[in-house]
Homo-oligomer: A and B are copies of this chain.
């Protein structure tokens, strides 16, 4: 994951409804949840939710599959893992970024951006 992808993922999660939706999908695990149920649980209009699911999807954080007339969304755990890895590596100095923080400089310039 490069900085551009990380920003996309961070932006996607940095919104009340999208974070809530994503947490619901994490909770739901592999099975996922149909869009309608997410909208209902979040108490927002379908069209609004659809907008947010598109954002999450474009950021690569969720995936879609059809089941009858329902579109079932599920969390992409690998992408989420990639995000936390990026944050730990680039924004914590490599370690769990815990307390003491002399923390080795992360001189990296590993990505050519997009």
Contacts and interface: CB of A to CB of B under 8 A. Distances in A.
A99 B84 contact: no
Interface residues of A, number: 41
Contacts of A28: 105
A60 interface: no
Could you say how many copies of this chain the assembly holds?
2
A78 to B, nearest CB: 7
Interface string A1-32: 00100110011011110011011001111100
Interface of A: 3, 6-7, 10-11, 13-16, 19-20, 22-23, 26-30, 75, 77-78, 80-81, 83-84, 87-88, 90-93, 96-99, 101-103, 105-107
